[in-house]
Amino acid sequence: MLEIVPMQSRRVVVIGGGPAGLMAAEALALGGVCVELFDAMPSMGRKFLMAGKGGMNITHSESIEPFLARYAGRQTQLAPLIEAFGPSALRNWIHALGITTFVGSSGRVFPTDMKAAPLLRAWLHRLRDAGVMFHVRHRWRGDIQPMQAGRYRLHFATPDGERHVDADAVVLALGGASWARLGSDGAWVPWLRDQGVDVAPLQSANCGFDANWSAHLRERFAGEAVKAVTASCVDANGILKMRQGEFVVTENGVEGGLIYALSALLREQINTQGSATLLLDLAPGKDLARVTAEVAHPRGSRSMSSHLQSRAGIKGVKMALLRECLPAEDFADAHKLAAAIKTLPVRLRAPRPIDEAISSAGGVRFESLDENLMIRKLPGVFCAGEMLDWEAPTGGYLLTACFASGRAAGLGALAHLAAR
């Protein structure tokens, strides 16, 4: 006779105290199981708090179709998760924590006080009230040891020595590999590969890039913002992708919102071709014919810098970039000079190291998971958050997918337990 095990006697271990892990724990606790959440750091949500230091951008208010398109190659896999818990549902969930939100001029959604800490405090309080048990300074050793009745044994390194924990199901929400000091160090990759899980290499996403700047540009213009420009690059299908905004010239290369928006395309160019070409329109408000006419105007005794500033509005760091990337002899040719102002090629040689990136690409491929985010080769073990193989631009898309996938993994674990 089949023994029916009540759900409240089932223990689910969640590893990772970021948004995905916390949301999985909430879904599990609401489902009536015993939930224990383990994290290697001294406290929960460290990267979440760091991400909110400049203003906690939770999600985005645009309609669902363009929202889902932000996930590019993984839109198909993420769509059902986000449709089940998307921007509107996420805002309502935040409001239920007593945190009000507003939509900024760019469509991004923020808590009214722009801070992450009050939201996290309220959330942890609610989880504790729901019975979630938290264990900090517990670093998972990477083992998933099968036991009888479909259970697993896991080992953790703690300040008091090694500890083993048995679980009826496991949710892994271990993050990617950016900001290792906050807990996302990617150490889990070889562990899961050893278990036969297909993991795409982790790479920098929403990151800056290195360029071979001259000493003059590094010393004079590092830290300068390049404003009111359009940047573009060619994708793998030969289609030109374009964004308008601003970025910063760094000692090593370029970074900032405009660069992050194109970082996936630039990174893939480098992966396939060894370098990437970023095309800059330094005068986006003027067409090529007008710029050509302006730079062809006789400059008399004025220097080239004064001429371009007065006729085309090119000055400061824009002028420095023009001199950096355009051969000196081309300044004497009005057509070549105007073409460079409108389409200046900047060669980028490498993404910045993954630990400096805002997020990471790669991770557990969805093809290794079922529709509930359970690892096919490890029944009862689920994955969520940034450790999955997807990426998205900044603007609230990263956090939304982390919340949505965490909830989906938690619900998936409940369904798995109910079916046993």
The predicted-structure confidence for 28-62, as pLDDT tens digits, reads as follows 999 999 999 999 999 999 999 988 777 899 999 99
> Which of 118, 181, 151, 130 has its CA nearest to residue 381?
151
pLDDT at 7: 63
Q: Does 420 have pLDDT greater than 70?
A: yes
Do the Cβ atoms of 295 and 288 come closer than 8 Å? no
pLDDT at 1: 30
Q: Does 224 have pLDDT greater than 70?
A: yes
Q: Does 3 have pLDDT greater than 70?
A: no
Tell me the C-alpha to C-alpha distance, in Å, between residue 258 and each of 72, 190, 353.
18, 33, 18
pLDDT at 345: 97
Residue in the structure block whose two tokens are 């609610």: 126
pLDDT at 5: 47
Tell me the C-alpha to C-alpha distance, in Å, between residue 191 and each of 140, 187, 403.
10, 8, 24
Do the Cβ atoms of 41 and 137 come closer than 8 Å? yes
Query: What's the DSSP call for residue 247?
Result: E
- What span, in angstroms and rounded, lies between the C-alpha atoms of 227 and 371? 44
Q: Does 71 have pLDDT greater than 90?
A: yes
- Encoded tokens for 160: 């008091």
Share of the chain above pLDDT 90, in %: 91
The predicted model gives 13-42 an average pLDDT of 97
- What span, in angstroms and rounded, lies between the C-alpha atoms of 150 and 363? 25
By DSSP bridging, strand 276-281 and strand 381-383 are: unpaired
Half-sphere exposure of residue 182: CA atoms within 13 angstroms, side-chain side: 20
The predicted-structure confidence for 307-350, as pLDDT tens digits, reads as follows 999 999 999 999 999 999 999 999 999 999 999 999 999 999 99
Q: Does 100 have pLDDT greater than 60?
A: yes
Question: Residue 374: which region, alpha, beta or left (left: phi > 0; alpha: psi -120 to 50)?
Answer: beta
Q: What is the pTM of this model?
A: 0.92
- What span, in angstroms and rounded, lies between the C-alpha atoms of 364 and 257? 27
- Encoded tokens for 184: 């996302």
Domain ranges (residues) in the chain: 7-204+361-419, 209-351
Which CATH superfamily, name and number, covers 7-204+361-419? FAD/NAD(P)-binding domain (3.50.50.60)
